[in-house]
Structure 1
Amino acid sequence: MKPLARIRLDPEGRATPLGADPSLGLEGSGLPCALLVQGQDPFGRPLCARCPVQRELKRGAYRASTPLVVKGRRLRCQGYREREGFLVELYPERAEPPDLLLELSRLTRHLLHNPDGLPQALEDFLRTLRQALDMEAAELFLADPEGRHLILTAYEGLHREAFLERPWFQLGEGYPGIVALRREPLITHTLGEDRRYLRQKVKQLGYQTYICYPLELPQGLIGVLNLASRNPQLDHKDSLETLSRIAPLFASTLYTLLTRLGEVGLEALHQHLYRGEVSEARLAFLKEIRQLTQATGIRVVARGGERWELGLVPACAMQDCPAWKGQVVGHKNGLPDCPEAQGRPRTCLPLWARGEVVAMVTLFHAHPPKPATRPAAPALWFSRLATPFLFPSLFQEKAQAPELEIYALGQFRLRYRGKALTPKSFGRSGAFQLFKYLLANKDRALYMEDICETLWPELPPDRARQELYTQIYHIRKTLPGIVEREGDYYRLRLPEDRFLDFERFEELMRKADLEEGLSAFKTLRQALDLYKGPLFGDDPYGEWAEAERSYLQDRALSGLLRLGELAEALGYVEVAKEAYARALKLEPYLEEAQKRLSLLKG
């Protein structure tokens, strides 16, 4: 049905009418939408000034609606998120049901630009679908990437707690599992008498009509869409026809989005692994999952027992958990209980690689989402491409974290055998400072007197030497074997199994010096991604590092200028702009960068 009015809103809420029935009197452009429409609620009170549609859209919904009265006419205001604002449409109060293919197209466009809004967007679409088909409940089960389970990911409708009684089914189990196995719709008008339906609370509430529809693609099943009603006389033919039209597009939207999430995560992972930042790759993986699932804590445990954690993570013995057998388990969320669960609600998911569980991830939520299994399927789809690289025990290549990891470009960070070290880890802050000084001179043997004169010039020679002995003791206690003495000289003895960001930066820069064209462009980007700031940037007054600091900054400047030139030649204008802008942050009066950036900006 054609709307009575269409209005586009910019991010500030200023309205531009795109067409309107003259009787509504919507004249003017650039006004706030509330002044243009001047709608009221059914009691005659101003509604547009507290517009519930814009409120919901700004909170992340892709669509929102509300009844309102305009010039005595009862209407429905329907709003949609657009990339740079909102689209508002006004319909008669008793308008025809929305075009679900158009709604699905809008959902797809919204999710492509806002993948983090997946949970709410799915719920919004299920609400539209349920209301259009005169149903009381709608739910979406997504299949895990291995095709072993169906996990309740979105629910909208009445009696939520009853439908959440069982949010997880194996293939062939219950209505969702049967449909997933047969790849055919399943319809009943006598749900209460059907033993195949396993959620008893739903039966007790009197639900009779139930439609379970597969979301299938050539590469397999992505999920199952369910609709339910307590009306046993409800004609299911129209609903089946509608589902047959929207199911292929809905399935492809879900598959594209979930696959793209995994590809983005894998790309970020590869960037770190290529630079040798194994621990950073793992941390990035955890951060991405936490953002996607809105979890307050994440724990990943490898088959060999290695653990990575992020956020607030309660203790767990992690023994004999059914997740190691490929099951999705949890605690206080309707899933099969994990026998080791303690404390807060959690969801434990198996991570697969080449047909076997190589790790498990546990999601902790201070306030569990509804349904509690909502983040499970997206987390599994996000992880599926990254898992073989994070747990390469089945592959020839190894990606074990180095014994010693040092990040000195920008903020200084240090890990030894996977454990982060701070100044407190060394017992004395002076030992931490001495270690940085030795690191800045890692390829040289340093005379005792030179060290004392540089770091403790105000102390008498005997006291300075004693201070040096004490600090060396604390360094060796924290990092065994890291400092060796040769007569009156000290030298840093770094392990072979190590990662130093400035050392790797220099290796990549030398590699780029020998390359041309696209190959040089890619290598330079990898190198310059490591340069996050001056050497020991959190210790800017350390004059003992000034020579090395200046050298590395000069290398970064020359690299950024060359990267900009290569990007221009390859047609990557935005990359060139970014390179020249970064160069100007390092050296604000660099004329060559100023000139090139001005030309590119026109």
Structure 2
Amino acid sequence: MKPLARLRLDREGRAAVLEANSSLGLEGTNLPCAALVQGQDPFGRPLCPRCPVQRELRRGAYRASTPLLAKGRRLRCQGYREKDGFVVELYPERAEPPDLLLELSRLTQHLLQNPENFPSALEEFLKVLRLALGMEASELFLIDPEGHHLILTAYEGLHREAFLERPWFQLGEGYPGIVALHREPLFTHTLGEDPRYLRQKVKQLGYQTYVCYPLELPQGLIGVLNLASRDPEVDHEEVLETLSRIGPLFASTLYTLLTRLGEVGLQALHQHLYRGEISEARLSFLREIRRLTQATGVRVAARGGERWEVGLVPSCAMRDCPAWKGLVVGHKNGLPPCPEAQGRPRICLPLWARGEVVATATLFHARPLKPATRPAAPALWFSRLAVPFLFPSPNQEKADSPELEVYALGRFHLRYRGKELSPKSFGRGGAYQLFKYFLAHKDRALYVDELCETLWPDLPLDRARQELYTLVYHLRKTLPGIVEREGEYYRLKLPEDRFLDFERFEELMRKADLEEGLSAFKTLRQALDLYKGPLFGDDPYGEWTEVERNYLQDRALAGLLRLGELAEALGYVEVAKEAYARALKLEPYLEDAQRRLALLKG
């Protein structure tokens, strides 16, 4: 049905009239939407100044609507997100159901730009679908990437708690599992008498009509869409006809989005893995899962007992979690109970690779989710391509963290055998500082008296030597074998299995020196991504590292100028601007960078 009016709103709520029925009297340009429409709620109070449609759209919804009174007419205001603002449409209160294919198109466009809104946007679409078909409840089960379970990802309608009695099913189990197994629709008008339906609370509430439809593509099943009503006279043929019309597009939309999530998950690892930053790759992966699922904390545990955590993560002493057996475990709401939950909302997911569970992921939330499995399917699809790289089989290249990881470009921090070390880890803060000095001179043998004169110029030589011996003792205690004594000299002995960001930076810069064109461009970007600041940037007055610090900064500066030139030649204007801007942060009066940046900005 054609709307009575269409308005385009910018981010500040100023409206431009695209089309409007003359009876609504929508006149004016660049006015706030509230001043233009002047809508009221059913009690005659001003509604537009506190517009619920704009409020929900600003919070991330792709679609929102509200009834209102305008010019004495009962209308429905309906809004959608657009890239740079919103589109608002006004319909008669009793308008025809919306075009579901158009709604699907809007949903797809929204989710491609905002994947973190996946479950909430699906629920809004389910509401539109349910109301259009005259049903009381709608739910979407998505299949996990391994094809073991159907996971309730979105629910919209009445009696939510009853439908959440069982939020996941194995293939062949219950209505969703049967439909997933046979790939054919299933319906009934006598739900209360059907033993195949396993949620008893739904039966007790008197639901009679239940339609279960497979969402299938040539690649396979992606999920199952269900609609329910207490009315046994619902025309199931009309429902099935509508689902057959929108089903292929809905399945394609879901498959595209979920596959894209897996690609994004892999991209979160790729750049770090290429640079050799194994631990950073894992932490980046966890941060992306946390953002996608809007969790307060995420923990991933491997078979060997290693754990990686981001955010607020409660402790867990459980060793034999049911998730290792392929189950989805959580706190209440129909999932197998987690004995470690202690009332805190959490969900534990199995991470599969090569046909076996190779790790478990636990998501923590501040409030219980409804359904509890809401973030499970997006998290599993996000992880599916990345997990084999994080947890390779014995026949694959080892992906364990290096024995020693040092990040000294910018803020200094290090990990030893996967554990983050702080100054307190060395027993003496001076031992931590001494390690930094050794790193700055990692290819040199350091004479004992030279070390004493440099580090403690005001102390007598005997006392300075005693201080040095003490600090070396603490350093060796924390990092066994890291320092060797050769007569009156000390030498840093780094393990073969190591990652030093400044060492890797120099390797990549030397590689780029030998390359041209696109190959050099890619290598330079990898190298310069490692340069996050001066060597030991949190020690700005450390004269002992000045020579090496200046050398690396000069290398970065030359690399940024060359990157800008290559980017211009390849047509990557924004990358060139960024490169020249970074160069000017390192050297504010660099005329070449100033000139090139000014030309690119026009």
Q: Which residue of 2 aligns with 1:66?
A: 66
Query: How many residues in Structure 1 have an aligned counterpart in Structure 2?
Result: 602
- Give yes or no for the alignment of 1:401 onto 2:396: no
Q: In 2, Cα distance between the equivalents of 1:545 and 1:471?
A: 19
* Amino acid in structure 1 at the alignment position of 2:247: A
Q: In 2, Cα distance between the equivalents of 1:422 and 1:317?
A: 25
Q: In 2, Cα distance between the equivalents of 1:395 and 1:265?
A: 23
CA deviation vs aligned residue, 1:129-179 (integer Å, no higher than 9, x gap): 111111111101000001110000000111000000000100010000011
Q: In 2, Cα distance between the equivalents of 1:192 and 1:519?
A: 66
Alignment of 1:290-439 (within 5 A): 290-338=290-338, 344-439=344-439
CA deviation vs aligned residue, 1:71-107 (integer Å, no higher than 9, x gap): 1111110011111111100111111111111111000
Once the two structures are overlaid, the 10-residue window that deviates more, 253-262 or 332-341, is 332-341
* Amino acid in structure 1 at the alignment position of 2:226: N
Q: In 2, Cα distance between the equivalents of 1:529 and 1:363?
A: 30
| Displacement of 1:495 | 1.1
Q: In 1, Cα distance between the equivalents of 2:70 and 2:546?
A: 70
Q: Which residue of 2 aligns with 1:595?
A: 595
C-alpha RMSD of matched pairs (Å): 1.4
Q: Which residue of 2 aligns with 1:224?
A: 224
Q: In 2, Cα distance between the equivalents of 1:89 and 1:176?
A: 36
* Amino acid in structure 1 at the alignment position of 2:421: L
Contact 1:333 1:345 in 2 (8 A): no
Q: Which residue of 2 aligns with 1:559?
A: 559
Q: Which residue of 1 aligns with 2:492?
A: 492
Q: Which residue of 2 aligns with 1:200?
A: 200
Q: In 2, Cα distance between the equivalents of 1:204 and 1:239?
A: 24
* Amino acid in structure 1 at the alignment position of 2:478: T
| Displacement of 1:452 | 2.4
CA deviation vs aligned residue, 1:178-204 (integer Å, no higher than 9, x gap): 110111111111110111000000000
Contact 1:321 1:340 in 2 (8 A): no
Contact 1:215 1:225 in 2 (8 A): yes
In structure 1, the gaps of 5 or more residues are: none
Contact 1:6 1:19 in 2 (8 A): yes
CA deviation vs aligned residue, 1:431-476 (integer Å, no higher than 9, x gap): 2111111111111112223222322223333332222222222211
| Displacement of 1:291 | 1.4
* Amino acid in structure 2 at the alignment position of 1:344: R
Q: In 2, Cα distance between the equivalents of 1:47 and 1:459?
A: 77
What SS does the corresponding residue of 1:269 show, helix, strand or coil?
helix
Contact 1:141 1:225 in 2 (8 A): yes
Q: Which residue of 1 aligns with 2:254?
A: 254
Alignment of 1:469-548 (within 5 A): 469-548=469-548
| Displacement of 1:11 | 0.8
Once the two structures are overlaid, the 10-residue window that deviates more, 173-182 or 246-255, is 246-255
* Amino acid in structure 2 at the alignment position of 1:291: R
> Normalized against structure 1, the TM-score is what?
0.97
Q: In 2, Cα distance between the equivalents of 1:161 and 1:343?
A: 18
Once the two structures are overlaid, the 10-residue window that deviates more, 189-198 or 366-375, is 366-375
Q: In 1, Cα distance between the equivalents of 2:320 and 2:428?
A: 42
Q: Which residue of 2 aligns with 1:569?
A: 569
* Amino acid in structure 2 at the alignment position of 1:536: F
Contact 2:345 2:369 in 1 (8 A): no
Once the two structures are overlaid, the 10-residue window that deviates more, 483-492 or 553-562, is 483-492
Q: In 1, Cα distance between the equivalents of 2:419 and 2:305?
A: 15
| Displacement of 1:274 | 1.1
* Amino acid in structure 1 at the alignment position of 2:401: A
Q: Which residue of 2 aligns with 1:455?
A: 455
Contact 1:135 1:228 in 2 (8 A): yes
* Amino acid in structure 2 at the alignment position of 1:170: Q
Contact 1:316 1:342 in 2 (8 A): no
Once the two structures are overlaid, the 10-residue window that deviates more, 255-264 or 468-477, is 468-477
What SS does the corresponding residue of 1:363 show, helix, strand or coil?
strand
Q: In 2, Cα distance between the equivalents of 1:49 and 1:66?
A: 13
CA deviation vs aligned residue, 1:6-47 (integer Å, no higher than 9, x gap): 111111111111111111111111111111111111111110
Q: Which residue of 2 aligns with 1:188?
A: 188
Q: In 2, Cα distance between the equivalents of 1:139 and 1:296?
A: 26
Q: In 2, Cα distance between the equivalents of 1:342 and 1:75?
A: 48
Q: In 1, Cα distance between the equivalents of 2:29 and 2:474?
A: 71
Percent of residue pairs bearing the same amino acid type: 85
Contact 1:329 1:336 in 2 (8 A): yes
What SS does the corresponding residue of 1:45 show, helix, strand or coil?
coil
> Normalized against structure 2, the TM-score is what?
0.97
Contact 1:209 1:234 in 2 (8 A): yes
| Displacement of 1:342 | 5.4
Q: Which residue of 1 aligns with 2:174?
A: 174
* Amino acid in structure 2 at the alignment position of 1:557: L
In structure 2, the gaps of 5 or more residues are: none
Q: Which residue of 1 aligns with 2:149?
A: 149
- Give yes or no for the alignment of 1:134 onto 2:124: no
Q: In 1, Cα distance between the equivalents of 2:445 and 2:222?
A: 62
What SS does the corresponding residue of 1:393 show, helix, strand or coil?
coil
| Displacement of 1:339 | 6.1
- Give yes or no for the alignment of 1:111 onto 2:111: yes
Contact 1:314 1:343 in 2 (8 A): no
What SS does the corresponding residue of 1:360 show, helix, strand or coil?
strand
* Amino acid in structure 2 at the alignment position of 1:462: D
Contact 1:315 1:342 in 2 (8 A): no
Contact 1:141 1:176 in 2 (8 A): yes
Q: In 1, Cα distance between the equivalents of 2:104 and 2:395?
A: 41
| Displacement of 1:320 | 3.4
Q: Which residue of 1 aligns with 2:265?
A: 265
* Amino acid in structure 2 at the alignment position of 1:266: L
CA deviation vs aligned residue, 1:383-442 (integer Å, no higher than 9, x gap): 100011001125421111111000001111100011100011112222211111111111
Q: In 2, Cα distance between the equivalents of 1:6 and 1:329?
A: 47
Contact 2:330 2:372 in 1 (8 A): no
Q: In 1, Cα distance between the equivalents of 2:262 and 2:538?
A: 34
| Displacement of 1:349 | 1.5
Once the two structures are overlaid, the 10-residue window that deviates more, 413-422 or 328-337, is 328-337
Q: In 1, Cα distance between the equivalents of 2:98 and 2:208?
A: 26
- Give yes or no for the alignment of 1:275 onto 2:257: no
Q: In 1, Cα distance between the equivalents of 2:341 and 2:119?
A: 26
